[in-house]
Structures are given as C-alpha cells and as structure tokens.
Amino acid sequence: MSVNLQTPIDYLKGVGPNRADLLRSELKINTYQDLINLFPNRYIDRTRYFKISELQQNSAEMQVIGEITGFKEVAQKRAKRLVATFRDETGTMELVWFRGQKWIRESLKTKTPYVIFGKTNWYNGKFSMPHPDIELVAEHDKNLRSAMQAIYPSTEKLNNKGISNRVMGKIMQQLFLDTKGQFAETLPQNTLDELRLISKSEALFNVHFPKNQELLSKAQFRLKFEELFYIQLQLILKNLINKSKIKGHIFDKVGRYFNTFYKDHLPFELTNAQKRVLKEIRSDLGSNAQMNRLLQGDVGSGKTIVAFMSMLMGLDNGFQCCLMAPTEILSVQHYNGLLELCKPLNISIKLLTGSSKTSERREIHESLENGDLQILVGTHALLEDKVKFKNLGLAIIDEQHRFGVKQRAKLWKKGSPESSTQSPPRSSPREDAKSVLKKYATARPSTYGLMKELQQKNKKNSTEAERILWEHLRAKKLDTKFRRQHIIDEFIVDFVSIEKNLVIEVDGGYHNTEAQKEIDELRTAILNDLGFEVIRFTNEQVIGDIDKTVESIANKLKSLPHGEIRGASLPPHILVMTATPIPRTLAMSVYGDLDISVIDELPAGRKPIKTVHRYDTNRLKVFRFMKDEIAKGRQVYVVYPLIQESEVLDYKDLMDGYESISREFPPDGSGPTYQISIVHGKMKPADKEYEMQRFARGETQIMVATTVIEVGVNVPNASVMVIESAERFGLSQLHQLRGRVGRGAEQSYCILMTSFKLSSDSKTRLETMVKSNDGFEIAEVDLKLRGPGDIMGTQQSGVLNLRIADLVKDKDILQHARYTAKSILKTDPTLALPEHQMILNTYREMSKFRNIWNYIS
C-alpha cells in the first residue's frame, strides 16, 4: 500500500495514540506531512568520537564509546540520583540521572559497548555527563545515520514524557523507511535546472539526515525556495483573481471637487512621489476592478492629502467615502484636518466614534442613508450595523494592522448597489444559469480556466459526506435542480441551486479551527453580498442523519421565493494606509496580493529632526535645553513607557515624571511660568481630548504622555520630543514618536533618555535612531532585531508561519522566488502547460488547507 502523507500520525510505527496526542498538542503534528515538515532547529557534528582522556573542561557536547562498569545511588536533599561509572581504554567518567532511575537500571547492561552523547561537566576532578543519549554500539552502527545530527523543536512536556530528540529522530527514520524516501516533486524540471536545485526527495533526506554541510546547504536552499515560491504564487494569483473577478465602481470622472481643490485650495505643492501615487490610485479607480491598494509613507510624508484627493475622485463620481482609524485620538485628528480642507468646497463631513452622543449618531445615520453626508470619519464605530451608506464607493483604513480581519470584512460589506439598473425578472432557471456561467467565463478566461481545473479536481476528490448528499440532491426529490462544485464568482461552492440562490456547503474536520471559521464567515458574507443564501452542514451531520439534513434543505427552499433577485452590491474600493514603514521582504510576503504605493520623499521645507542620546545623568542639561526652546515660543513632548511604577521593570513612570517636571517647570513663581498637559490611555476620551486641544492651541508648553500620542497628534509648533527610558521602546515606536515633531518650519529635536544599563539590542536601536531619519532603513534594522512575527503584531500572527525560510536571512531567496512565480504566471496564467502541471497540482492541494480564496485586504 502506498503511503499517504495525509495519514494521521497515530498510524506511524513507534508513535501510537499517546505519543500522537502529545505531538498534536505540543508541535501541531497531525499527519505524516506535518512530521516531514518539522525541520531541525540546528545540527550537531556526530562524526567524531572522543576518548575520555581527550575530554575538555568546556561543557561541550561530546560523543564517547565505552562500557558501564557499575551503578550506585547517591542521596540528595529531596531524592536520590543514579550514577554509573563509564570507562574506555583511556580512563573513566560518570553518567548521572536525576529521574527515570528504575527504567535505566532495568534497561542498561554492564560490560556492554555503548555510544554515549551529551554535555560534559567537570566536578571534583572528574568528568560527568547528565542524562546522556545512550545507544548500543550495534544499534548505533545499523541505524539510518547522518554525520550531522538534527536537533528538532521540542517542549518541556515532550521531554518529560520521554519524547526526546533521539526518539524524534527514530520516528523520522521510520517515516523515511515507510515512504522509501520518495516524495512527489513540486517544482518543474526547468526551474530545478535553471536554479540548480536538488530534487524534493534529496532535499528532504538531506535536511533531516545530512551527510555533510554542503548537502545540508543545498537541501535548505531548495526547501526555502519552494516554501517562498508557493507563498508568492498564491499572493500573485490572488491579486490577478481580485482584479479579474471582483468588480468595482468605475470612477471615470475627475470633476469639480478634485479640480477646484487642486487649482485653488491645495495648501502646498505636491511632491513627485505624491503625484505618482495619485496617478496609480486614479488608474485603479477608473478600472472595472475593486481597488485593493496599500499606501506606505513615512511619518509626515503627506499621506492624508493623497487620501483626501482620492476621496474627491469618489465625490466627483457621486459616491460617499469613509476613513477609519484605530483610535479615537487619531480619528479626531483626521477629522479636524479634513474638515479644514472640506470647508472651502462645501463638502459635508462628520465624525463618528464611541464617544459620539446619541443625537449626533441619529443625525449621522439619517444623512448617510439619504446621501446628504459625503465623508464619514471614525473609529470601529463605523462598523456598527446601524451605520448604512447610500452609496459607499471608497473606504480608507489608516494603520490597518490594528484591525482584525472580521472588522475589515464588515467594512467590505458596506458597499453600495451596482450603479447599473436592476436586472429584469429571470425568464427561466435554464436561461439564467447560462447567463451566469457566461458572465463568470468571460470576466477573465485565464483565471476562469484555472478555476475550472480546480472544479474538476474537487469533483473527483469528493468526501463521503458530499457523495451521500449529492445522491439525494441529484434525485430532484426537492423539486429543485442543484449543481455541484460550481463556480460562483471567486468561489467554488459544494452545491448550488441557481434558481433559488441557495448555496450548500459541507464542512470537513479542518473547518473546526478558529482561523478556518473566520475564513468561512468571510466566504459566507461575500456570497451573501452576491445574492446567495448559504447553509452549512458538517460531515458528521450529513453522514449521521441524511434524512434530517435533506429536511433542513427542504425547509430553507420553501422560505425562498422562486427566481428571487436580490440586490447584489459592489464592495467599496479599499485604500489601506500605514505610517509604519514595512521592509520590502515583509511587504512582499504579507501584502504581496495588494498593489503597493510608496510616498518616499518628504514635502519641501521640512528639516530633518536632530536626534541625540543622553543618559539620566544629563537630565539637568536636557531641562535647560527644554527651557531655551520654550523661551523661543516652542512646545515640548515628554513621553514615558508606563503609567504607574512597575515592581518588575526599573523604568521612569508617568506620574513620577509628571511630578519632577512640575517641580522643574513651575506654573507660578518669580521666574518664567509653565503650563503642563498630561495624557495617558486610562483617561476618559473627553479628558484626553481637552488636554490635547489645550496643547494644540498653545495654552500648555509641555505635554507629558504615554505612547497614546504615538499617532494622531499634529502640533507644528512642537519642536522637542523627549523619550524617557527609550531603551524600553521598539525601533518602530521610537520612529513614530519622533514623527510627532518636525511638522513645522523650525528645527526640531528628539532626545532619547536612558540609564547606563543597556543591552546590545538597545544600543543598536539607539544608534540607528541617532544616525538615520529614514523610516525604511529603520524598519530593516527592526526586522533583523525582532523578526517578522513581532513586527506584524498579535493581530497578524500566523500570517508568516514559515516552516524553514527566514525573511531576514533569506531575502535573496524570496526575491528569486517572487521573480520565478511572476515569470511563470506571465507566460502561463492558468498553469495549463504540461511542464507546470505539478505546480497546479501542488497549488490545488494547498487550496484545501490554506486561505487562498480570501479577498479581504
């Protein structure tokens, strides 16, 4: 029987139910496929055998051949330890076990040759090795072995339950024996030849059992390339399908609003970068596809004016627009800035946040639905069900990484009906089905062709539950014709009745995960928007009680009018903005399905911010500098990492800092007097806004705050940013905070205050900040220091769950992979050529378990 890599791990010899449960819970290993893709963390050279007389006093990992001459138990405070004397022809040493003594005594024999491996200790003039890997020489010689021993990811629980690295190695050996080391190739021969890649089977063997460093390097390169290639292939295909399948409103006019603003009210000359980005956005909005564009721009680069001018294009074409920001402070800031731009154009604009009063909300809801309100700015409050637009054409999301997928999907659903007139009643189900198929097939033949191939594959690989349900549906006992594995826009659905607009989905076991449930919700939401009802059953429901399942479908059909036409809506165009520069490698892998625009120059007249690093001992000089700047009429930010003193972290806290600054900058006295604002995340929104406005109006000279002012405060008169305990912040945060100053014409300064105790990473961060104002350069350093997972944050966790590749170390491989994927799809967009058949097959397999058909940006 051929080995199926989707076989549960329980069935592999040497695993069994108990170990399988542990491997599932601790390492997420469910199948043979998961095990083969458990790649080693590191390797140990097992080519050399040491004599006891050659051991060094450096706690290194050593391998020795010898015999056990005897055992003894040694009393300790709480328990006993087992000690064995081990010898070879050059001397003796001790082997020590602190647990599992009974099994050791029963399993190990004296005067029998063993190979031991582990870290050596030197104590009381003698070498010892605690809990060594120990193996009979005869077994050692005949085992599948490599010169370099793989060390696999593990957990404390696995080790405590006896699943050591040696056990993992034996389990992996068994898998290779079962499969005979033969694995299906996933890359075409011409790609292997062009990049001089070894085969998939060679790569997997040599990554788990490398014979030497050269073969290991070749294996790692091949597997890293493959992983990154398929990520890029999915993202590029997703982008192609987005553009071909998801229609968008056509903004074909550049009219009065845009032209009047550009000619008469533009507050400054646009940079060449801003003009380029506006041209890219205009091109998207004028096509027949939904725009899905990421706008990157460093702090102060002028993203907001680009966003506003994009909204003017929407208004010129009769559509409403919205801008959603993650915090109330930021949304208020956006609103105030846009309000000033809207006034001379007589554009209606409102703000909606969690703090909006009921009467304000009622007025906003009404003016949105009747179309009087043209632009709405707000927080998550925009996503409430009561917020209904008459014709939303453009949605702008600021700092989108702070929003979850479900939230972005809700914004997607607030699209407006198609601008074309409603379709006439359907003449017959058969004619309607033909017209629907024609519509799908002509949208983009190449993409449709790929989906047709996927459709045929799905039909051949139906699950038992799908086959049982199809037998009942095809019998037409429900007086309705159903189609199976049918293409509806960007989806292939399990079953559909076109005449009743009803989709039936049968969910397998992998639909139980939180990630998959979220994907299913999005899929259902989009199908609803396309005019289809969706009902779902699990495999167990269908197989366990098919009669009840069919009865549920019958009841649903009765509730649906025959030939009903539902108001399908088009999603709004999406423009995603971020002031957090994203390293190129990360952008290619996380946002590779979006079109990316970059504003890479600052407006004319902006002076670079001077950044310096000062220690706590220089505090009096820093206070003196602050007073000099205030005397010139400037304002100062002082930012702290914590609100209240921490017992664990020895950092300056906000309250303590506020008191010391109040003493140094008194509100009254014989000399200069000062006013101080204080803002932190635990304050009520109204109190925060009051303090912010006092500072913005110049009524206070110093703003003492936590990172709540990281985004959203625009005070051109503020020229000094003092960041206390700067070692506590990440590079991205430091750069964002620094961007709060330097917004006026005067020279601005950022002072990084720290103690003398600094880690190596902290020193690197501070040095980077002092020498560079380039957000993209800073982001690259941040990526190296923190890795992609930390930079993306918790809401994006899992986006880059790479098995073997590393975005920091392997950016050259990533660029090769993206270039190769683009080249293949350029010549063969449907992957129909014979030489690309294995790519298509692999892609299909991945589509079963991964979120390829996820179209929310």
Q: What is d(CA 738, CA 750) in angstroms, rounded to the nearest whole number?
A: 6
Do residues 545 and 621 both lie within one domain?
Answer: no
Q: What is the CATH number of the domain that holds 559?
A: 3.40.960.10
Residue 58 lies in a domain: yes
pLDDT at res. 667: 82
Do residues 554 and 618 both lie within one domain?
Answer: no
Do residues 539 and 620 both lie within one domain?
Answer: no
Do residues 680 and 766 both lie within one domain?
Answer: yes
Residue 196 lies in a domain: no
Identify any residues that bridge with 377 across adjacent strands, giving them in sequence order. 323, 351
Residue 792 has pLDDT above 80, yes or no: no
Of the listed ranges 101-105, 197-201, 349-353, 571-575, the least confidently predicted one is 101-105
Q: Does residue 639 contact residue 709 with C-beta atoms inside 8 Å? A: yes
> Across residues 533-558, what is the average pLDDT?
88
CA 545 from centre of chain: 39
Q: What is d(CA 333, CA 165) in angstroms, rounded to the nearest whole number?
A: 55
Q: What is d(CA 364, CA 379) in angstroms, rounded to the nearest whole number?
A: 14
Q: What is d(CA 843, CA 824) in angstroms, rounded to the nearest whole number?
A: 14
Of the listed ranges 8-17, 42-51, 588-597, 736-745, the least confidently predicted one is 588-597
Residue 850 has pLDDT above 60, yes or no: no
Q: What is d(CA 470, CA 478) in angstroms, rounded to the nearest whole number?
A: 12
The tokens for 246 are 């998801």
Residue 339 has pLDDT above 80, yes or no: yes
Of 347, 301, 271, 251, residue with least CA distance to 577: 301
What percentage of the chain reaches a pLDDT higher than 70? 84
Q: How many CA atoms lie within 13 A of 853 on its CB side?
A: 23
CB under 8 Å to 809, separation ≥6 — which residues?
Answer: none
Q: Which of 104, 126, 144 is the last residue of a domain?
A: 144
Residue 517 lies in a domain: yes
**Count of domains observed in the chain:** 3
pLDDT averaged over the chain?
A: 81
pLDDT at res. 268: 83
pLDDT at res. 783: 75
Assign 448 a pLDDT band (cuts: 50, 70, 90): low
Do residues 735 and 623 both lie within one domain?
Answer: yes
Of 415, 409, 411, 417, residue with least CA distance to 521: 409
Of the listed ranges 46-60, 159-173, 195-209, 330-344, the least confidently predicted one is 46-60
pLDDT at res. 784: 73
Of the listed ranges 235-239, 248-252, 757-761, the least confidently predicted one is 235-239
Q: Find the radius of gyration of the CA atoms of the chain.
A: 33
Of 852, 851, 846, residue with least CA distance to 457: 846
Residue 827 has pLDDT above 70, yes or no: yes
Q: Does residue 560 contact residue 496 with C-beta atoms inside 8 Å? A: no
Residue range of the domain that includes 453: 429-567
Sheet holding 126-130, edge to edge: 121-123, 126-130, 91-97, 80-88, 61-75, 113-119, 133-136
pLDDT in tens, 706-739: 877 655 567 888 999 999 999 988 888 888 888 8
Query: How far is the CA of 824 from the CAs of 9, 187, 811, in angstroms?
Result: 35, 11, 20
Q: What is d(CA 411, CA 640) in angstroms, rounded to the nearest whole number?
A: 35
In the three-class reduction of DSSP (H, G, I as helix; E, B as strand; rest coil), residue 50 is classed as strand
The larger pLDDT score, comparing residue 780 to residue 647, is at 780
pLDDT at res. 208: 93
The tokens for 603 are 């407006």
Of the listed ranges 528-537, 564-573, 752-761, the least confidently predicted one is 564-573
Q: Which of 731, 756, 772 is the last residue of a domain?
A: 772
Q: What is the CATH number of the domain that holds 699?
A: 3.40.50.300
Assign 832 a pLDDT band (cuts: 50, 70, 90): confident
Residue 727 lies in a domain: yes
> Across residues 177-194, what is the average pLDDT?
90
Do residues 755 and 657 both lie within one domain?
Answer: yes
Q: What is d(CA 147, CA 402) in angstroms, rounded to the nearest whole number?
A: 47
Assign 417 a pLDDT band (cuts: 50, 70, 90): low
Do residues 480 and 627 both lie within one domain?
Answer: no
Q: Does residue 463 contact residue 508 with C-beta atoms inside 8 Å? A: yes
Residue 152 has pLDDT above 70, yes or no: yes
Residue 371 lies in a domain: no
- Kindly state the helix (H) or strand (E) to which residue 133 belongs, with its residue range: strand 133-136
Report H helices in 5-62: 16-27, 32-36
The tokens for 72 are 């003894």
The larger pLDDT score, comparing residue 631 to residue 567, is at 631
Pairing of strands 502-507, 491-497: antiparallel
Do residues 626 and 550 both lie within one domain?
Answer: no
Residue 108 lies in a domain: yes
Assign 791 a pLDDT band (cuts: 50, 70, 90): very low
pLDDT in tens, 356-399: 899 999 999 999 998 899 999 998 889 888 898 989 999 999 87
> Across residues 629-640, what is the average pLDDT?
92
The answer to whether the predicted template modeling score (pTM) of the entire model surpasses 0.85 is no
Do residues 563 and 636 both lie within one domain?
Answer: no
Q: What is d(CA 279, CA 287) in angstroms, rounded to the nearest whole number?
A: 13
Long-range contact set of residues 690-696: C-beta below 8 Å, sequence gap at least 24: 692/329, 692/332, 695/635
pLDDT in tens, 196-249: 999 999 999 999 998 888 899 999 999 999 999 998 888 888 777 766 667 788
Q: What is d(CA 683, CA 523) in angstroms, rounded to the nearest whole number?
A: 39
Residue 466 lies in a domain: yes
The larger pLDDT score, comparing residue 528 to residue 202, is at 202
Do residues 563 and 626 both lie within one domain?
Answer: no
pLDDT at res. 796: 41
Residue 830 lies in a domain: no
Identify any residues that bridge with 8 across adjacent strands, giving them in sequence order. 31
Q: What is the CATH number of the domain that holds 58?
A: 2.40.50.140
pLDDT at res. 798: 39
pLDDT at res. 852: 34
pLDDT in tens, 561-607: 654 333 346 789 989 888 777 766 676 666 666 788 888 887 777 78
Do residues 555 and 679 both lie within one domain?
Answer: no
Q: How many CA atoms lie within 13 A of 823 on its CB side?
A: 10
- Kindly state the helix (H) or strand (E) to which residue 125 belongs, with its residue range: none
Do residues 484 and 541 both lie within one domain?
Answer: yes
DSSP 62-105: EEEEEEEEEEEEEE-SSSEEEEEEEEETTEEEEEEESS-HHHHH
Assign 489 a pLDDT band (cuts: 50, 70, 90): low
pLDDT at res. 205: 93
CA 693 from centre of chain: 35
Of the listed ranges 87-91, 345-349, 477-481, 687-691, the least confidently predicted one is 477-481
Q: Which of 514, 535, 567 is the last residue of a domain?
A: 567
Query: How far is the CA of 516 from the CAs of 227, 411, 427, 854, in angstroms?
Result: 21, 20, 38, 11
Q: What is d(CA 853, CA 458) in angstroms, rounded to the nearest whole number?
A: 15
Query: How far is the CA of 392 from the CAs of 311, 315, 371, 408, 523, in angstroms?
Result: 11, 10, 9, 15, 21
- For the chain, the distance separating the N- and C-terminal CA atoms, rounded to the nearest angstrom, is 44
Of the listed ranges 480-484, 827-831, 843-847, the least confidently predicted one is 843-847
